[in-house]
Amino acid sequence: MLEALKKNAFNGKRKGPVVLCIMDGVGYGAFEDGDAVKAAHTEYLNEAMATWPQAKLKAHGKAVGLPSDDDMGNSEVGHNAMGCGRVFAQGAKLVNQSIETGSLFQGDAWTQLTANAKSNASTLHFIGLLSDGGVHSHIDQLKALVEGAKKDGVAKVRIHALLDGRDVGETSALDYFTPFEAFLAKLSDENFDARFASGGGRMNITMDRYDADWSMVERGWKTHVLAEGDVFASATEAITTLRERSGAIDQDLPAFVVAGEDGKPAGPIVDGDSVVLFNFRGDRAIELSKAFEDGDDFDKFDRVRVPNVVYAGMMEYDGDAHIPSRYLVTPPAIDRTMAEYLVASGVKQFSISETQKFGHVTYFWNGNRTGYFNDAVETYVEVPSDIVPFEQRPAMKCAEIADRVIQEVEKGEFDLIKLNFPNGDMVGHTGVFQAVLASLESMDLQIGRIKKAVEAAGGVLILTADHGNSDDMYEHSKKGELVRKEDGKPKSKTSHSLNPVPFLVFDPSFDGEYSTEFQEGLGISSVAATCMNLLGFEAPEDYDASIINFR
């Protein structure tokens, strides 16, 4: 149990709560074209950016524990950083280090996987997202795994690859799949057979999260495990054909199965095989892991048959539930989070979002920890998300979230209220500019409602974000020129941006207790210390510096 935080000079200065509003995927755009945040009619956010004390925060790269500043931030590492007040080396960096040092290939999990495949003369399967987006996985890491399998004497490898189109260009799949087919062909010889076995768009099959839509996982199971579906001679042929047939962008492409030389599915997963889910990020890896590892009590869908395999994840995706039971790389040990310190200090906390981001304001915020630190002073509320394409419901559940937040502000029972509006990120990933405008305008209306309630309660409202996305909706060249499609329209961008994010403070009872010139150049990990200060406490000495200088 952590010791209670020491009180600071601001303690007791406000009668209302601190309300921390995370506008997921809202940053400061670098380009006029495609900046939906700037283009949207958002009166309240515009007023905040024009008049509230503020700072721009770093939300990507090394500032959130990623390998380099060329790496875009994401919601998971962003909420980790904000929630623990420090920067930990994150998934991509840890996996890279493990591969570079060779420790991954010397670990027990890898040894068990390869030994099983060799002793049974069976297949080692790799399932995951095939791109260089670096948010869930990285193609270079998969290459290293395949090469490692050959080096360690595995005879047969099959790849079950998911198309990205969210963390990279929306129709960039062939830039990864076709060269990877060539890589596998070159690596194969009389003693080693490696090829694609199945695939499909990440938002169509396999990569659901937070139990939002298990039918996605069921479609993935049928594709990867049972090898059911349309069969093609190659992954390239499948993507080309299905793209023309469906008109879908990569993330939504229908599932496909790849044939072997005999024309039959090249890689159903059967008894005696080994399976690796090579995504390192946890949220969209947990459900498939459960499908492989849960026993007869699994009730999410009919798996038809459950092969007896040696299964491993790239990392442990849920440290409390220990999912999966076997993993290649140990995740960061994030301790002493902001929520845990506040619990020790008797601070009552309320956290809310809809399904798509509920785990971010709870699990990821709490250092990849499931459940409460102390349910006597913490309350979590999940608003069920709609199971429809986000561009069809761009408002998402922001009104319902705001309703409950306002209710709790007025009741006055909580000291800290934390919420996530997913709109700018989840709708931003669709690439539909009009829908993103609508999503941001819907969110803005709710921010206005919350602001009014906070003012009446004598509290403090903070607007910030975990990373950019909706601020960069069109592709630009390295020279900054707008990229256009054949029809002359701008090419949509569906991935996150590298742009800074806002930190804006509305404090209607302000009486000179701190400087309104906020510190610039900090990362979003500084949000934790700042919130602690505004709640009336000194932050731990090793937390990253507060954005606000108190007098």
Q: What is the pLDDT of residues 475-521, one digit of tens each?
A: 998 888 999 988 999 999 988 999 999 999 999 999 999 999 999 99
Same domain as 356, residue 318: no
Question: At 398, which CATH number?
Answer: 3.40.720.10
Domain assignment present for residue 544? The answer is no
Which residue in 435, 452, 546, 458 sits closest to 507, CA to CA?
458
CB proximity list for 305: less than 8 A, separation 6 or greater: 225, 226
Same domain as 67, residue 135: no
Same domain as 365, residue 313: no
Report residue 470's pLDDT band, with 50, 70 and 90 as the boundaries.
very high
Q: What percentage of residues in the chain have a pLDDT greater than 90?
A: 89
Same domain as 341, residue 310: no
How many helical (H) and strand (E) elements, i.e. helices and strands, does the chain have?
A: 17, 15
Q: What is the pLDDT of residues 64-99, one digit of tens each?
A: 998 888 888 889 899 999 999 999 988 888 999 999
Indicate the residue among 329, 362, 390 that finishes a domain: 329
Indicate the residue among 274, 309, 329 that finishes a domain: 329
The mean per-residue pLDDT over the stretch 382-400 comes to 96
Q: What is the pLDDT of residues 435-464, one digit of tens each?
A: 999 999 999 999 999 999 999 999 999 999
Q: In what order do the strands lie in the sheet with 327-329?
A: 231-232, 256-258, 193-201, 156-163, 123-129, 274-277, 310-315, 327-329
Q: What confidence score (pLDDT) does residue 477 get?
A: 87
pTM score of the predicted model:
0.79
Same domain as 345, residue 240: no
- Report the mean per-residue pLDDT for the chain: 96
Helix (H) / strand (E) element for 276: namely strand 274-277
Same domain as 237, residue 107: yes
Report residue 31's pLDDT band, with 50, 70 and 90 as the boundaries.
very high
The mean per-residue pLDDT over the stretch 345-360 comes to 97
Same domain as 292, residue 174: yes
Enumerate the active-site residues. Answer: 75
Structure letter (DSSP) for residue 537: B
* CA atoms of 192 and 156, how far apart (whole Å): 6
Q: Which residues pair with 369 in a beta bridge?
A: none
Cβ pair 256, 223 in contact under 8 A:
yes
The secondary structure of 52-76 as a DSSP string is S-EEEEB-SGGGGT-SSTTSPP-HH
State how far the alpha carbon of 354 is from the alpha carbons of 109, 211, 395, 402, 422, in Å. Answer: 35, 12, 12, 11, 8
Same domain as 398, residue 285: no
Same domain as 306, residue 171: yes
Query: How crowded is residue 327: how many other Cβ atoms within 10 Å of its Cβ?
Result: 22
* CA atoms of 242 and 477, how far apart (whole Å): 28
* CA atoms of 496 and 51, how far apart (whole Å): 27
Q: What confidence score (pLDDT) does residue 320 get?
A: 64
Is residue 398 over pLDDT 80?
yes
* CA atoms of 512 and 167, how far apart (whole Å): 43
Domain assignment present for residue 343? The answer is yes
CB proximity list for 486: less than 8 A, separation 6 or greater: none
Q: Can you state the angle between helices 43-51 and 433-457, rounded to 10 degrees?
A: 60
Domain assignment present for residue 547? The answer is no
Query: How crowded is residue 16: how many other Cβ atoms within 10 Å of its Cβ?
Result: 21
Domain assignment present for residue 541? The answer is no
Is residue 524 over pLDDT 70?
yes
- Domains in the chain: how many in total? 2
Q: What confidence score (pLDDT) does residue 330 get?
A: 86
Cβ pair 26, 471 in contact under 8 A:
yes
Indicate the residue among 296, 329, 362 that finishes a domain: 329
The mean per-residue pLDDT over the stretch 339-368 comes to 96
Domain assignment present for residue 106? The answer is yes
Range of the domain at 499: 18-88+335-534
Report residue 370's pLDDT band, with 50, 70 and 90 as the boundaries.
confident
Domain assignment present for residue 84? The answer is yes
Q: What confidence score (pLDDT) does residue 333 get?
A: 84
Cβ pair 223, 200 in contact under 8 A:
yes
Same domain as 272, residue 373: no
Domain assignment present for residue 71? The answer is yes
Is residue 176 over pLDDT 90?
yes
Q: What confidence score (pLDDT) does residue 97 get?
A: 93
Same domain as 113, residue 48: no
The mean per-residue pLDDT over the stretch 236-259 comes to 97
Is residue 318 over pLDDT 80?
no
Same domain as 229, residue 191: yes
Q: What confidence score (pLDDT) does residue 317 get?
A: 85
Domain assignment present for residue 13? The answer is no
List the structure tokens of 465: 């974000």
List the structure tokens of 418: 């934390």
Question: At 227, which CATH number?
Answer: 3.40.1450.10
Angle at 166 between CA 124 and CA 93, to 5 degrees: 60
Helix (H) / strand (E) element for 383: namely strand 378-383
